[in-house]
Amino acid sequence: MTDPTENPATARFQEYLRIRSIHPEPDYDGIRRFLFKMAEEIGLESRTLEFVPGKPIFILTWPGTQPHLKSVILNSHTDVVPVFEEFWTFPPFSAHKDEDGNIYARGTQDMKSVTIQYLEAVRQLKAEGVRFPRTIHLTMVPDEEIGGHTGMEIFAEHPEFRALNPGITLDEGLANPSDEFSVFYGEKCVWWITVHCRGDPGHGSRFIENTAASKLHSVINRFLELREKEKRRLQSSPGLTLGDVTTVNMTKVNGGVSCNVIPTEMSATFDLRIPPTVNLQEFESQIEGWCRGAGDQVTWEYHQKCMNERITTPDDSNPWWKAFSDPCKELGLKLKPEIFPAATDSRYVRTAGYNALGFSPMNNTPILLHDHNEYLNEGVFLRGIEIYKRIIPSLAAVAPLDGEQEH
Share of the chain above pLDDT 90, in %: 96
Over the stretch 164-175, which tens digit does the pLDDT of each residue have?
A: 999 999 999 999
Q: Mean of the pLDDT values across residues 372-390? A: 98
Tell me if residue 144 is catalytic.
yes
Per-residue pLDDT band for 404 (boundaries 50, 70, 90) equals: confident
Can you give the chain as a three-state secondary structure string?
Answer: CCCCCCCHHHHHHHHHHCCCCECCCCCHHHHHHHHHHHHHHHCCEEEEEEEECCEEEEEEEECCCCCCCCEEEEEEECCECCCCHHHCCCCCCCCEECCCCEEECCCCCCCHHHHHHHHHHHHHHHHCCCCCCCCEEEEEECCHHHCCCCCHHHHHCCHHHHCCCEEEEEECCCCECCCCEEEEEEECEEEEEEEEEECCCEECCCCCCCCHHHHHHHHHHHHHHHHHHHHHHHHHCCCCCHHHCCEEEEEEEEECCCCCEECCEEEEEEEEEECCCCCHHHHHHHHHHHHHHCCCCEEEEEEEECCCCCCCCCCCCCHHHHHHHHHHHHCCCCEEEEEECCCCCHHHHHHCCCEEEEECCCECCCCCCCCCCCEEEHHHHHHHHHHHHHHHHHHHCCCCCCCCCCC
Residue 93 burial (CB < 10 Å; 0-12/13-18/19+)? buried
Q: What is the mean pLDDT of the chain?
A: 96
pLDDT higher than 80, residue 407: no
Question: Partners of 76 in the beta sheet?
Answer: 140
pLDDT at 3: 66
pLDDT higher than 50, residue 343: yes
Over the stretch 322-334, which tens digit does the pLDDT of each residue have?
A: 999 999 999 999 9
pLDDT at 25: 97
pLDDT at 326: 98
Phi-psi region of 223 (alpha: psi -120 to 50; beta: other; left: phi over 0): alpha
Instruction: Say if CB 33 and CB 56 are below 8 A apart.
Output: no
pLDDT higher than 80, residue 2: no
pLDDT higher than 50, residue 36: yes
Over the stretch 284-317, which tens digit does the pLDDT of each residue have?
A: 999 999 999 999 999 999 999 999 899 999 999 9
pLDDT at 66: 97
Closest CA to 360 of 343, 384, 333, 334: 384
pLDDT at 405: 67
Per-residue pLDDT band for 406 (boundaries 50, 70, 90) equals: low
pLDDT at 5: 81
Give this prediction's pTM.
0.91
Phi, psi of 122 (to 5 degrees): -65, -40
pLDDT higher than 50, residue 122: yes
pLDDT higher than 70, residue 368: yes
Whole-number Å distance between alpha carbons of 55 and 158: 15
pLDDT higher than 80, residue 379: yes
Q: Mean of the pLDDT values across residues 316-320? A: 97
Domain annotation for the chain: domains and CATH numbers: 8-187+311-396 (3.40.630.10), 189-275+277-305 (3.30.70.360)
pLDDT at 213: 97
Identified catalytic residue from 110, 120, 143, 144: 144
Tell me if residue 79 is catalytic.
yes
Over the stretch 188-199, which tens digit does the pLDDT of each residue have?
A: 999 999 999 999
Instruction: Say if CB 323 and CB 399 are below 8 A apart.
Output: no
CA distances from 109 to 26, 176, 189, 258, 261 (A): 17, 11, 23, 46, 49
**Which has more pLDDT, 181 or 239?**
181
Over the stretch 129-138, which tens digit does the pLDDT of each residue have?
A: 999 999 999 9
Q: Mean of the pLDDT values across residues 201-213? A: 96
pLDDT higher than 70, residue 361: yes
pLDDT at 110: 97
Beta strands at 355-359 and 189-198: parallel, antiparallel or unpaired: unpaired
